[in-house]
A and B are shown apart, each in its own frame.
Chain A
Amino acid sequence: MEALQPVITAIYFVFGGVLLFLSYTIVRDNPRHRANRITGMMLFFAALGPIFMAFGAIVKPTASAAAPFEDSFIYNLYYVWELFFPAFLLFSWVFPVDRMARMKRRKLRYLIFFPQLFHLFLVLVFRNPEKVYNLLEFESSEGFLGLIMEPLSYLMKWIVLGFSLLLSAERSLFALINLIYLGLAIYTIFRGRAILTDARARKQSGMIIWGILSAVVLFMATFLIPDLLSFEVSPGLKTLLMVLLLFIGGGSIAWSIIQHQFLDVRVIFRQSLVYTITSGILVGLYILVVGQADRFITSVFGTQTNIVNIAFIVLALILYQPINTRLDELIQRFFIRSRTDYRNILEQLTRRLISVFDPEQVRNVIERTLISTMMVERVYFILFDDTIGEYAILASDEFPTRIIINREDRFLGAVGQRETPTLIDQLEEFRQGSTLAYEMEKRRVRLILPLKDADHLLGYLGLTQKTSGYTYNPEDITTLGVISNQLVTVLTNARLYADSLEKQRLDEEMAMARQIQLDLLPKQPPQAPSFAIHAYSMPSRTIGGDFYDFIPKSDGGFAMVIADASGKGLPAALLVAQIQAMLRSEVGNLNDLSRILFNVNRYVVESTSAEKYATLFFAEFDPSRRLFCYANAGHNYPILVRSDGTHHFLETGGMLIGAFSGAQYEMATVTLQDDDLLLFYTDGVSEAQNESDEEYGEKRIVDYIVNRRNLSPEELIDGLLNDVRDFDHTDPPRDDTTLIAMKIRNGVH
């Protein structure tokens, strides 16, 4: 036991130091918080216990029989430590739930310190009542003064006697008081924990409550209850239990700070803890080694020497850094999973996001990570929307409406200037008239985090206050700054992926639309011995606004149409599909071309806006009489080439379809003859352009077909298309291109 004493002393010192350090750190980080101040105070008094014990162990051997250590001032000062009990009771009022805020006459709470202060007073003054008696012995005074002082002196002596008697019951009495305090505090802490509804706050407080309670209960069992019942626990067991309770109490607080951000103490703290422990170990070693070595050297050489002291200091200087490093590594290994460590947050984010590409899911993961690691209550996204070119606050559970922020917004501008996370309070001057500021306040956002990479500003994250009720400390802000870069990458990747998916989906839809449009075209033009027809149509994009159709009639003839809707792509395709459907239905009901076009025009005007129109050439051919009836609704004039090489344009008709209601359509009829050639085309052919912006034009078309009028329709169209492609190399062609050639066969009726 004697040999172990220095070790135990060292352990007391280390724990005393750790507790003092914890007390200091907790108060320093948030001195404005009542919980921090009170916890700091409690830990301070708790630290005094082991420190005084260690100190006592060092001083004791120097005491003599004449002046026993128990009589010394230092020994009695030890009772300051008892103030831990009222401080612990105070602590139970602010943790885990702060109930003191609602208390009336809060100042009165400090009265609970009275019993222990009184005890200290008793111990300091009346431990040796003889000394006080001596002080009160007056030389018999003469006259008036003596008359007053003598009875007063007697009275005082009686009072002293009373206090001395009280002091003799000291141990049991104050053990009882302290026990009552501890009991009350434990009860209050459990009541407080029962009120806690937030799961995270429960988890956060769980460790510390169990840690402190175990320590306190151990203390009760080791010291207070034996004192109260006046039985002795063996010193060895006492010391063992003392070390254990210090380890549990101090350890649980340190652990809670590092793992659960107890009282919002910074992670930097870890480093300081390492230094404290190292220093503690060195001090312990000093006490352990130097005392023993000194005694050994003195006994061997018979003289006292400083050599051990000097050697120890030199060794300590050499070993300080390596011990620090080893300890830090050890603690790193335990605490690398520390929640607030940005490396850990980054690792978590990366791991969770590795298989997530959906932007909404990505945002979810980011929100969950920040909530679990930074203790943020909520995360709001303010992101730039490419499609509208504005920033928007995305919808959330609580605020389901997406809110677009005008780019002139002052607050947005002010935030945009910042490179780092910014507390809303620092932007007070920009709040006036700002929608963003108003919306952020509504959501109780405390911190704005810009998401910026080298040259893009994606948007911002708005973080509400922390669940612990603390504000963001500089370390949080640094951590958020580091992870914001990662968030930018993640969000950008998610958006690119979504865009590519969207594009793929659109491509697939367009491919289907193209198939539908191809299916709407006749598979095969009408064929008969008396005529030959060939048709060609190619959209410039996947789908287009050109179409042609042949509609068989009951009299053996057919109706035909070639049309070109304004614009390109999907809108044009929808318009032509509509016109085609109307024509088919009208042809079944009516025989009058003018009437059919009049109706179709009216429908299109009614169902589309004015700038959507189509040009259209509509005709009916009766092969038996070789009569070709037509009406041209604003379409490029089809060309009729006679066998002798003369040509005519088929102009008669009326206004293009779909622009003006009530348009009238005139009809014309030509009688076709042997070897007559008809060419119908859309402006994709006539408006093809060469490098010098010259158009292919109607004249070239006419020249080409007049010269090659003896070719078959198919050969003619292939040849003409090649000629146009030679003229205009644009690939794909600028416009939808449609061509139909029809030839009357020689001598066949």
Chain B
Amino acid sequence: MNLNDYERDGIAVLEPRGKIMGGPDATILHEKLHECIEKGQKKVIIDLARVEWMNSTGLGILISGLTTLRNNGGELKLANVTDKIQSLLTITKLVTVFEAFDSVDEAVSSF
């Protein structure tokens, strides 16, 4: 997994690419989220457009990211959720906690 990040209208957008799996991916994403929180950047969007696949550990990373941000008074939203990840979110009922949007723009304007 590679991770790009940029800012749009004061909101941090993280753009992982490839497969989100366990191990180093978790650390990278985790550190990036903590970096955001430390900078006072508590609104974060994860753009999943370029994520090919996500395993259970990858899903765990998203959950823990959401929890971390919420505990710090922030919010994590998802953008460009692919069908496959959407079905994963549906089965696990995570759709009820994650706000997912069709595009980054929509996600940005929802804050």
Query: Does A429 make an interface contact (CB < 8 A)?
Result: no
Residues of A in contact (CB 8 Å), total: 24
CB distance from B23 to the nearest CB of A (A): 10
Contact, CB under 8 Å: B56 / A683: yes
Contact, CB under 8 Å: B64 / A610: yes
B56-70 to A contact mask, C-beta < 8 Å, 1/0? 110111011011100
Query: Does A567 make an interface contact (CB < 8 A)?
Result: yes
Q: Which chain A residue has the least Cβ–Cβ distance from B59?
A: A566
Contact, CB under 8 Å: A615 / B92: yes
Given A611-B61, A659-B63, A659-B67: A566 and B56 within 8 A (CB)?
yes
Residues in chain B near residue A568, CB distance under 8 A: 22
CB distance from B69 to the nearest CB of A (A): 11
Residues in chain A near residue B56, CB distance under 8 A: 564-567, 683
- Give the docked Cα–Cα distance between A566 and B58 (Å): 9
Question: A residues within 8 Å of B by Cβ?
Answer: 564-568, 609-613, 615, 633-637, 653-656, 659-660, 683, 735
Given A566-B59, A567-B56, A660-B97: A637 and B91 within 8 A (CB)?
yes
B9-34 to A contact mask, C-beta < 8 Å, 1/0? 00000000000001000100000000
Q: Which of A610, A615, A636 has the most CB of B within 10 A?
A: A610
Query: Does B39 make an interface contact (CB < 8 A)?
Result: no
Given A566-B57, A566-B59, A660-B97: A610 and B91 within 8 A (CB)?
no
Given A564-B56, A566-B59: A609 and B64 within 8 A (CB)?
yes
- Give the docked Cα–Cα distance between A256 and B63 (Å): 75
Q: What are 23 of the A-B contact pairs (CB < 8 Å)?
A: A566-B60, A567-B60, A609-B64, A610-B60, A610-B64, A610-B66, A610-B67, A611-B61, A612-B60, A613-B60, A613-B63, A615-B91, A634-B92, A635-B91, A636-B91, A637-B91, A654-B93, A655-B92, A659-B63, A659-B97, A660-B63, A683-B56, A735-B55
Query: Does B94 make an interface contact (CB < 8 A)?
Result: yes
Given A610-B64, A659-B67: A567 and B92 within 8 A (CB)?
no
Residues of B in contact (CB 8 Å), total: 19
Residues in chain B near residue A610, CB distance under 8 A: 60, 63-64, 66-68
Other-chain residue from B64, B67, B68, B94 in contact with A655 (beta carbon distance below 8 A): B94
Question: What's the dominant secondary structure at chain A's contact region?
Answer: loop
- Give the docked Cα–Cα distance between A3 and B26 (Å): 98
Q: Which chain A residue has the least Cβ–Cβ distance from B96?
A: A655
Residues in chain A near residue B96, CB distance under 8 A: 655
Residues in chain A near residue B55, CB distance under 8 A: 735
Other-chain residue from A567, A609, A636, A656 in contact with B93 (beta carbon distance below 8 A): A656
CB distance from A419 to the nearest CB of B (A): 35
Residues in chain B near residue A565, CB distance under 8 A: 56
Contact, CB under 8 Å: A611 / B93: no
- Give the docked Cα–Cα distance between A636 and B94 (Å): 13
CB distance from B5 to the nearest CB of A (A): 20
CB distance from A517 to the nearest CB of B (A): 18
Given A564-B56, A613-B63, A653-B93, 19 additional A-B pairs, CB 8 A:
A567-B60, A610-B60, A610-B63, A611-B26, A611-B60, A611-B61, A611-B64, A613-B60, A615-B91, A633-B93, A634-B92, A634-B94, A635-B91, A637-B91, A654-B93, A655-B92, A656-B94, A659-B94, A735-B55
Residues in chain A near residue B59, CB distance under 8 A: 566
Contact, CB under 8 Å: B63 / A611: yes
- Give the docked Cα–Cα distance between A565 and B63 (Å): 14
- Give the docked Cα–Cα distance between A126 and B96 (Å): 123
Residues in chain A near residue B97, CB distance under 8 A: 655, 659-660
Residues in chain B near residue A735, CB distance under 8 A: 55
- Give the docked Cα–Cα distance between A659 and B61 (Å): 11
Contact, CB under 8 Å: B91 / A634: yes
- Give the docked Cα–Cα distance between A157 and B92 (Å): 128
- Give the docked Cα–Cα distance between A355 and B67 (Å): 55
Given A655-B97, A660-B97: A611 and B91 within 8 A (CB)?
no
**10 A-B pairs closest in CB distance:** A611-B60, A634-B92, A611-B64, A610-B64, A610-B67, A566-B56, A566-B60, A656-B92, A659-B63, A655-B93
Contact, CB under 8 Å: B92 / A611: no
Q: Which of A636, A637, A655 has the most CB of B within 10 A?
A: A655
B68-111 to A contact mask, C-beta < 8 Å, 1/0? 10000000000000000000000111101100000000000000
CB distance from A406 to the nearest CB of B (A): 20
CB distance from B90 to the nearest CB of A (A): 9
Q: Which chain A residue has the least Cβ–Cβ distance from B84?
A: A695
Residues in chain B near residue A567, CB distance under 8 A: 22, 56-57, 60
- Give the docked Cα–Cα distance between A735 and B60 (Å): 16
Residues in chain A near residue B57, CB distance under 8 A: 566-567, 611
- Give the docked Cα–Cα distance between A655 and B66 (Å): 15
CB distance from A631 to the nearest CB of B (A): 11
Q: Which chain B residue has the least Cβ–Cβ distance from A657?
A: B92
CB distance from A687 to the nearest CB of B (A): 8
- Give the docked Cα–Cα distance between A660 and B94 (Å): 10
Q: Which of A567, A611, A633 has the most CB of B within 10 A?
A: A611
- Give the docked Cα–Cα distance between A656 and B89 (Å): 10
CB distance from B78 to the nearest CB of A (A): 15
CB distance from B57 to the nearest CB of A (A): 5
Q: Which chain B residue has the least Cβ–Cβ distance from A655?
A: B93
CB distance from B95 to the nearest CB of A (A): 10
Residues in chain A near residue B26, CB distance under 8 A: 611
- Give the docked Cα–Cα distance between A633 and B59 (Å): 15
- Give the docked Cα–Cα distance between A340 and B56 (Å): 62
- Give the docked Cα–Cα distance between A683 and B87 (Å): 13
- Give the docked Cα–Cα distance between A186 and B109 (Å): 100
Residues in chain A near residue B64, CB distance under 8 A: 609-611
Residues in chain B near residue A655, CB distance under 8 A: 92-94, 96-97
- Give the docked Cα–Cα distance between A564 and B55 (Å): 12
- Give the docked Cα–Cα distance between A342 and B92 (Å): 69
Q: Which chain B residue has the least Cβ–Cβ distance from A683?
A: B56
Residues in chain B near residue A635, CB distance under 8 A: 91
Residues in chain B near residue A566, CB distance under 8 A: 56-57, 59-60
Residues in chain B near residue A609, CB distance under 8 A: 64
CB distance from B111 to the nearest CB of A (A): 21
